[in-house]
Structure 1
């Protein structure tokens, strides 16, 4: 397995094709660059694809999380639980709303939130006379959480349920691509360039609840409305009122044109990612220095990431040394993630400490996200696998 290529392999990369470029150029030549017809086209396409009644496209995934927190009316003294094995935005949105964040460790097999530990945490709060307001469950790397049991828990304890679906566009649970909107009150998506489809930057909030949808649309555009049912008075067709303190979290027609074009190719992108994962599984699973990600029988993994766990002690190098050797072989892996509770801000302000969530911490110690994007060819994959496997032999 050798490659003569001189190109660099990052952990993720967008796939932009001629059709995408032509769609964006069409918008650039038109009358609308922002707040035009392509925003609605993209939103309608998202609703149809992911089986949600409503979709609101926004500036990015973080904005989508922030708006969700506000639309669900999280506030001071509300407790919101998420996983420590996620990007900071999944937890930071709790802080943006003024609520209190807490974490539940991950399941060691799926790397998603541990259902049994989650219910125990809720019950512990209940014994203290406290109630959990919401759960933000993250489909880590593209593997869906145990959404059926999450919904049961949410119903049992009257808790809001948010799907952080940013890693899992195109994943399926029991054959259903719309599983997130089936089980969660709100679904949040991201279209960053390393995700399955991209709009450059961009995100979306999907829901089957009209009131939540309306609140998102209001808050993403400064809290301003021209809707007569919300106005205190109406002085004419130009008249608007700011009825909430909102934000400029709008997305452009340029971005939505790209997003709409990319969405048509999502299934093909996810299929290619699964083929790449199959190649990695075949080449790493027979080597006890590596642990490949597990996929549940009722799941189609979306593989935003391929989180390879490496037993560095058996490989004979440190994680830092591994990264240095990868750089020499033109490979740029990444780590997803440093557990949120280990970040200085969360330790300083909320008292979290090392040892609080041992499964996440152990996973972080071992995890390396290796290149995963649709344009990788067989020679590229051979080069990546060879480079990783030879590290301990040099």
Structure 2
């Protein structure tokens, strides 16, 4: 049996929405994008939702909206996808890395305050695997030091923190619609915010700083004339991507429930196995279960994490690792004075973590095959 790490859940609904865009002849950003933004905004419960072509673009525009400048500092978790810190580098600002918690892989809120300096302007927590970060604690720190709070919610659709939906808590929130995400449009993202001024700035910046988007210019009421009022970017999404987004949004909570079922089956199967360390979700929040991170008790095994992955690969089970800590990459080693000893939890997790397949459409036979092979490898290589 061959089980990929991820398989997007695409049905005739998505296909028909895309075909509808093609037949109507409008394939760049237009009416479907406007509809997608509106329905996404209503689902999240935010005042504004602005569609972009990636979560990375969303984070970049969010930092631009709040006025990040060269020399500023931005707090991010040490273990995250590179985009979280990459966007900080765009401004020649400095990403300040904070270690993560061993059990949740979330930024350790207790370690943030000691890294704040007069140059600190923003905190960007990452809702790892779909579990919200410690929002109350981080918000309190942000308020105390007058810092902006931008959420990297690439994994967290849908997710809830103390009955509040992610996308309504921080100053700005960026979501990802990449091919493997919980809502997949191939490439894409969305920014939510309650502040109209920031929303309007992001709308202008996402399309070259032009005062009117193409849909308005080429509509019956539009005009070819426009002004460039900001130095912007080519960050808009398209109606083809938004067509996928509209169809995916209709089944978003069903897909979440499917992932949750898989996570529960994994948890039940692996509980009590001393060679495996289960991922913890805190009681006051609900995860989207974008990822299922499983840690190996490598002291109890004769093989390491990489060998474990190869064993699963040889048996037809696709896996991944989330994530390689930022300070391990050559660019970050060469440009910043990070010290491995400052990130002991990140190191400990990185040596042990594997992400198992978890996606809607994964049938019981496939789920059981993953479970059986994980347990069989554990038994085979138990010390």
Give TM-score scaled by structure 1 length: 0.91
1:76 aligns with 2:70: yes
Show the counterpart of 1:109: 103
* Alpha-carbon contact 1:13-1:194 (below 8 Å) kept: yes
Flag structure 2 segments of 5+ consecutive residues without an equivalent.
Answer: 214-221
Deviations 1:350-390 (A, max 9, x none): 11132221111111111100111011111111110111111
Return the alpha-carbon distance in structure 1 between the equivalents of residues 340 and 210 of structure 2. 44
Show the counterpart of 1:232: none
Aligned residue among 356, 360, 364 for 1:374: 360
Aligned residue among 141, 153, 156 for 2:144: 156
Show the counterpart of 2:219: none
Show the counterpart of 2:230: 244
How far 1:292 moved relative to its partner? Answer: 1.0
1:301 aligns with 2:287: yes
Deviations 1:88-142 (A, max 9, x none): 00010100122111011112232211111112222xx2xxxx2410001100001
Return the alpha-carbon distance in structure 1 between the equivalents of residues 155 and 282 of structure 2. 16
Q: Superposition pairs for residues 33-44 of structure 1, below 5 Å? A: 33-44=27-38
Deviations 1:270-322 (A, max 9, x none): 11111101000001111011111111112111111000001233221122221
Show the counterpart of 1:323: 309
* Alpha-carbon contact 1:15-1:374 (below 8 Å) kept: yes
Q: Superposition pairs for residues 20-39 of structure 1, below 5 Å? A: 20-39=14-33
Show the counterpart of 1:257: 243
Deviations 1:214-240 (A, max 9, x none): 11111110111149xxxxxxxx94322
In structure 2, the residue corresponding to 1:189 is in which secondary structure? strand
Aligned residue among 150, 157, 167 for 1:180: 167
Return the alpha-carbon distance in structure 2 between the equivalents of residues 38 and 392 of structure 1. 49
In structure 2, the residue corresponding to 1:164 is in which secondary structure? strand
Return the alpha-carbon distance in structure 1 between the equivalents of residues 133 and 6 of structure 2. 22
In structure 2, the residue corresponding to 1:138 is in which secondary structure? coil
In structure 2, the residue corresponding to 1:369 is in which secondary structure? strand
Return the alpha-carbon distance in structure 2 between the equivalents of residues 226 and 319 of structure 1. 52
In structure 1, the residue corresponding to 2:175 is in which secondary structure? strand
Flag structure 1 segments of 5+ consecutive residues without an equivalent.
Answer: 1-5, 228-235
Deviations 1:32-70 (A, max 9, x none): 111210010000011111111111101111111111121
Deviations 1:300-352 (A, max 9, x none): 11111000001233221122221221111111111000101111111110111
* Alpha-carbon contact 1:74-1:98 (below 8 Å) kept: no
In structure 1, the residue corresponding to 2:183 is in which secondary structure? coil
Return the alpha-carbon distance in structure 2 between the equivalents of residues 114 and 187 of structure 1. 19
Return the alpha-carbon distance in structure 2 between the equivalents of residues 321 and 32 of structure 1. 49
1:338 aligns with 2:332: no
Return the alpha-carbon distance in structure 2 between the equivalents of residues 250 and 41 of structure 1. 15
Return the alpha-carbon distance in structure 2 between the equivalents of residues 238 and 342 of structure 1. 49
Return the alpha-carbon distance in structure 1 between the equivalents of residues 135 and 167 of structure 2. 8
Aligned length: 372
1:384 aligns with 2:378: no
In structure 2, the residue corresponding to 1:355 is in which secondary structure? helix
Return the alpha-carbon distance in structure 2 between the equivalents of residues 88 and 211 of structure 1. 28
